[in-house]
Structure 1
């Protein structure tokens, strides 16, 4: 959840948890020491903050995060084609433009992947063709050697009979 919060809110998150057995668990979206240092510095810069105002600050922050989450969920639903009835023509046009841009990005990525795969298959096909050519060359040499050996054997046999 801390990682999701970090990603959704584009925020630095540091979480320290002690289990009931006393085992330490921690998560940091960046560097834990940097998060703690930043927290310590922020606390030092607000010397007159008391517990009540800090609670209110965190309540406002939580409300802001809830609103951001709600907005993101609503945006996600709209991108999925749900809950469009409240949108006007301008909003729908904007949504359509966003979807078209996303689709173009997806198609470009897909085309690039397919192009890379085709190039790789061409490269492998070329290697196989080269190997096949080399094997045919070797087969011809072996066939010629076999014919030459057969000719020598028959010559030897015929010469011995005469």
Structure 2
């Protein structure tokens, strides 16, 4: 069963109305006090009874809160006026920015050496000083970059020298190993050829002298005992 909303209307019985007023008034005052304490809010509550009796509560000064409320409502424009005011503010801000852009463009042209005909001596001196300052900053930055590049090149040179020394040592070791292997191979070949030379050498009774003549004469000469 769906219950309909209870319609709120005036209490006809005067006694019941007075009792309800007292209860609700005390509840409102209590809630206002709790709101001001818990939330640190400025709260002002004004209640007039059916008989015209005043009941009020203020977290600070009632007069100060009322004055603040009046000032707030006075300073707050309607929605239409507020939108129009925002448009006007945006237009003024855009105009201000355009003037700043024009000023910066003129200064840029002067720094590039253009439009100097309307400049006074003081303005030209200021432009010159600014340019000298800018050149000094650029040169300092360039010097710093040169130093960084030199340091990098020195580190690269050191790395290449270390690599070159390592390759030189490696090459020297290879040459020494090749020389050692060559000597060992030569000695090995000589050792292998020595037995062959000994086996092919002439014995003591082999004639090595060259003799020209008849065989008889050769025989007599080889036998001196005869």
Q: Given the alignment, which residue of 38, 44, 54 partners 2:86?
A: 54
In structure 2, what is the equivalent of residue 65 of structure 1?
97
In structure 2, what is the equivalent of residue 104 of structure 1?
136
SS of structure 2 residue aligned to 1:76: helix
Structure number with the higher helix fraction is 1
Query: Which TM-score applies when normalising by structure 2?
Result: 0.50
- Give the Cα separation in 1 of the matches to 2:189 and 2:108: 89
- Give the Cα separation in 2 of the matches to 1:66 and 1:82: 21
In structure 2, what is the equivalent of residue 85 of structure 1?
117
What are the superposed Cα offsets for residues 72-99 of structure 1, whole Å, 9 maximum, x if unpaired? 1001101111001111111100000000
Unaligned ranges ≥5, structure 2: 1-74, 195-226
Higher relative contact order structure (alpha carbons within 8 Å, sequence separation ≥ 6): 1
Q: 1:118 offset after TM fit, Å?
A: 0.8
User: In terms of Rg, which structure is larger?
Assistant: 2
- Provide the alpha-carbon RMSD of the alignment: 1.3
Report the count of equivalent residues. Answer: 117
In structure 1, what is the equivalent of residue 44 of structure 2?
none
Deviant stretches of 4+, over 4 Å: none
Unaligned ranges ≥5, structure 1: 1-45
1:1-162 equivalence runs, <5 A: 47-48=76-77, 50-162=82-194
- Give the Cα separation in 2 of the matches to 1:57 and 1:111: 48
